[in-house]
Structure 1
């Protein structure tokens, strides 16, 4: 039985902790904050509740596997999962609206043809066929296996872009796919919104980012009753059932080494904790070797506007609406039909999010007005119904998680600049887990990183991921 120290209590770190505890190791989690969950947070006031991190779950199979491998109760006995249908409503700048069904290729094609005109659905469907090819080429090395020893194998973009012609430059970015292959500004805006929701600028994101809409539209979008914080609660309880120890308010300032191997950590105040292995959920600080992966370039964060409204949610409201406010900008409005998030049936909680550059100056008054104006396009009588609002910016993310950025999932192409740190550190005995490490950010990806780290520690360097 090894002594394992886990730094941080994010979803990826807790997923690794639970798996390692089941394998017979003694696991202690040191979290600098006062609670678990990392960026999966909840804001509550006056009987209203809001997710201030992710609002939906994709690839729930990741957490189903975690609960199967760590206890008798499956995931669905610990949380209530519901497919969101329609998966999303899109309101474009010209007023056009379209509802996209959950995990239905044929339904999506038909909906786009009806809303945007004949041929729009076919072009989107053909795009998804090419996106599937990129997904199939990169699924295992990017999601199910440890990062390749030579990550340059993922430098080449796997998306089979349409030939651009002799006098045109090759298609290398997601924005170029929208312009050249979708050929409708509304379809391009739809594609762009998927990139922005994961923190990527479509103008610079590689064509490989096409796997993001493919993933959502193929495997569906799911909501956890009580809000996504309920998933963090369930993973924390599973860790406790497996006798994982948590120490909150404990800031790790240094990973200790002996004879070239990690041997413990030092806490604020000088206290040291011995360990046979250290698992870090914090952003990696060690330099990357020239032949290894480059640090992931992430410079975007999230603003969240929590709205407490009087009056019940109208009957034809949908869970998620994406409001396309103009070129390169969209706002996501989440309106879950969840009694746990409102004081009674005569009120409603609404969460509005936008991806922003973390280095941009924040004019809070202007930002609130812009978000309210976008939301008013899809929530009737919004301003008359508004009781109060709460704005959260990347500065709040820094205070809660230590970083303003929200890391995105790993993507192939772009010369490897969107590959995060490998799970196995250059220092023996030190591993990385969570959104800043392979396979990157997002609830599903964080859960995958926990499985990969546990596999590498339990099975050693020969571990090759799920089969």
Structure 2
């Protein structure tokens, strides 16, 4: 039994079916894919969730028949001083681009950082990302002194950047990768340097037709393997017998028995709402990013934009202070006045009519709620006012699209919370660093997959969580 047909749930269903299990999936929404959402309007097609595919080798053995296209640049970075840096998956090319943009010293700094990032990646891949991680298994890293020194659990990503990179623009570029896990770079572990290494060493990829194609491919693969998927079928609870998961109780009241339950629901929700005896998750950080999204249909072309373009703010710390709030000063979370603006614009005729472009704009945002570290995104007029503000800020950074907009749609953290049951609309689950909730649940026979659990958020990590769980369950 799998609860939730997000990428983690579907990938787990595929692997378990391949291992000979009879797999049933219940999904609360009317469609599959979870946060890998899609939206269509007037001939435009948008990915409303992930917009970049990395580590394509993680998907290779799922039998999905994907045909990803490599991106160059992977991301175009536009800095507050107007300088531009295009990232490349060829380390030599990227170093050359850094030297051309920022000077030889910056290129040499990046090369030193890159050597460290490679060590972090190798240690993480070998010791963390492919297996279940608990405090005990992390402690075992102390027997691999080289791995422990590389991962440096005592150091922050911000600290690592300051150690290796003198140019503030390269530090800003590195800081952004903390947001890939929903974290603040000032507090995120240095181990997250594995993320830029994975993205740049193995490339950034696009799926023609949009990344929603991945959900369709997983659905087709499930159908071919005989997996039964029921949509519009919310699960109200997980049933247990003698301390072991025994099935689920649907919203309809029906109880469905199962030998094993795999939850692709957010770990916090699984523990607190689905189990008959609500459990606690120790050591979790409540400070996790959400995102504010604008979907634009745009007339004409914008050649200065790459497939992915990031516009950095003048004060990155101020953005994180706004998004997470400042408990020490008593300042609540709020929409950032000068946020980092991430624009995705695919040159793919399948996603927009001729003579137009489909833009996906994402900015870091506080989660939805009414407490100190959240914003009430349902407040009347807020979403529209903030969308207008973001387009104004984008114009100030040299890309004024306001007179070319055919339509604009907003997606707030409140919308994501409603559509996917992600607490507060957080994108990557709880930002718990290396110690996210484990893949084994608090009762026997219950396993967790998805971005809220180990090894973390993002399409490849979610897919790895499914492999970890399927390997733990084993063949039928």
Q: Normalising by structure 2, what TM-score?
A: 0.84
2:262 matches 1:279: yes
* 2:375 equivalent in structure 1: 360
Unaligned runs of 5+ in 2: 273-277, 317-338, 368-373
* 1:424 equivalent in structure 2: 440
1:331 alignment partner, one of 329, 338, 341: 341
2:222 matches 1:239: yes
Answer yes or no: is the 8 Å Cα contact 1:296–1:419 preserved in 2.
no
Cα distance, 1:159 vs. partner? Answer: 6.0
Cα distance in 1 for residues equivalent to 2:46 and 2:396? 21
Cα distance in 1 for residues equivalent to 2:394 and 2:139? 43
2:427 alignment partner, one of 403, 406, 411: 406
Cα distance, 1:213 vs. partner? Answer: 1.2
What is the aligned length? 431
Judging changes above 3 Å, is the alpha-carbon distance between structure 1 residues 321 and 120 closer, same or farther for their aligned structure 2 residues? same
Which stretch of the first structure deviates more once superposed, 119-128 or 380-389?
380-389
* 1:216 equivalent in structure 2: 199
1:115 alignment partner, one of 101, 119, 139: 101
Cα distance in 2 for residues equivalent to 1:14 and 1:360? 32
Answer yes or no: is the 8 Å Cα contact 2:37–2:49 preserved in 1.
yes
* 1:140 equivalent in structure 2: 126
Cα distance in 2 for residues equivalent to 1:153 and 1:355? 33
Cα distance, 1:459 vs. partner? Answer: 5.1
Render the CA deviation track for 1:80-99: whole Å, top value 9, x for unaligned: 31001111111100111111
* 2:319 equivalent in structure 1: none
Cα distance, 1:248 vs. partner? Answer: 1.1
Alignment of 1:452-467 (within 5 A): 452-458=468-474
Unaligned runs of 5+ in 1: 68-74, 163-169, 411-415, 461-467
Cα distance in 2 for residues equivalent to 1:366 and 1:312? 26
* 1:131 equivalent in structure 2: 117
2:404 alignment partner, one of 380, 385, 395: 385
* 2:323 equivalent in structure 1: none
Cα distance, 1:265 vs. partner? Answer: 0.8
Cα distance in 2 for residues equivalent to 1:22 and 1:171? 40
SS in 2 for 1:238: helix
1:437 alignment partner, one of 453, 459, 472: 453
Cα distance in 2 for residues equivalent to 1:240 and 1:378? 47
Alignment of 1:167-206 (within 5 A): 172-206=155-189
Cα distance in 1 for residues equivalent to 2:311 and 2:149? 27
CA RMSD of aligned residues (A): 2.6
Judging changes above 3 Å, is the alpha-carbon distance between structure 1 residues 235 and 440 closer, same or farther for their aligned structure 2 residues? same
List structure 1 runs of 4+ shifted beyond 6 angstroms: 154-157, 287-290
* 2:307 equivalent in structure 1: 319
Answer yes or no: is the 8 Å Cα contact 1:189–1:327 preserved in 2.
no
Judging changes above 3 Å, is the alpha-carbon distance between structure 1 residues 194 and 230 closer, same or farther for their aligned structure 2 residues? same
1:448 alignment partner, one of 453, 461, 464: 464
Cα distance in 1 for residues equivalent to 2:154 and 2:265? 35
Cα distance, 1:382 vs. partner? Answer: 1.2
Answer yes or no: is the 8 Å Cα contact 1:300–1:357 preserved in 2.
yes
SS in 1 for 2:164: helix
Q: Normalising by structure 1, what TM-score?
A: 0.86
Answer yes or no: is the 8 Å Cα contact 1:257–1:264 preserved in 2.
yes
Render the CA deviation track for 1:247-304: whole Å, top value 9, x for unaligned: 11111111111122111111113210011111111123438999x9733545211111
Judging changes above 3 Å, is the alpha-carbon distance between structure 1 residues 112 and 179 closer, same or farther for their aligned structure 2 residues? same
Answer yes or no: is the 8 Å Cα contact 1:31–1:249 preserved in 2.
yes
* 2:48 equivalent in structure 1: 52
SS in 2 for 1:445: helix
Cα distance in 1 for residues equivalent to 2:208 and 2:289? 28
* 1:89 equivalent in structure 2: 76
* 1:71 equivalent in structure 2: none
Cα distance, 1:149 vs. partner? Answer: 6.7
Cα distance in 2 for residues equivalent to 1:171 and 1:267? 44
Which stretch of the first structure deviates more once superposed, 416-425 or 210-219?
416-425
SS in 2 for 1:302: strand
2:124 matches 1:153: no
Render the CA deviation track for 1:18-62: whole Å, top value 9, x for unaligned: 111122211110011111001000111111111110001010111
Judging changes above 3 Å, is the alpha-carbon distance between structure 1 residues 392 and 379 closer, same or farther for their aligned structure 2 residues? farther
Cα distance in 2 for residues equivalent to 1:293 and 1:240? 38
Cα distance in 2 for residues equivalent to 1:377 and 1:199? 27
Cα distance in 2 for residues equivalent to 1:421 and 1:402? 17
Judging changes above 3 Å, is the alpha-carbon distance between structure 1 residues 296 and 452 closer, same or farther for their aligned structure 2 residues? farther
Cα distance in 1 for residues equivalent to 2:394 and 2:208? 23
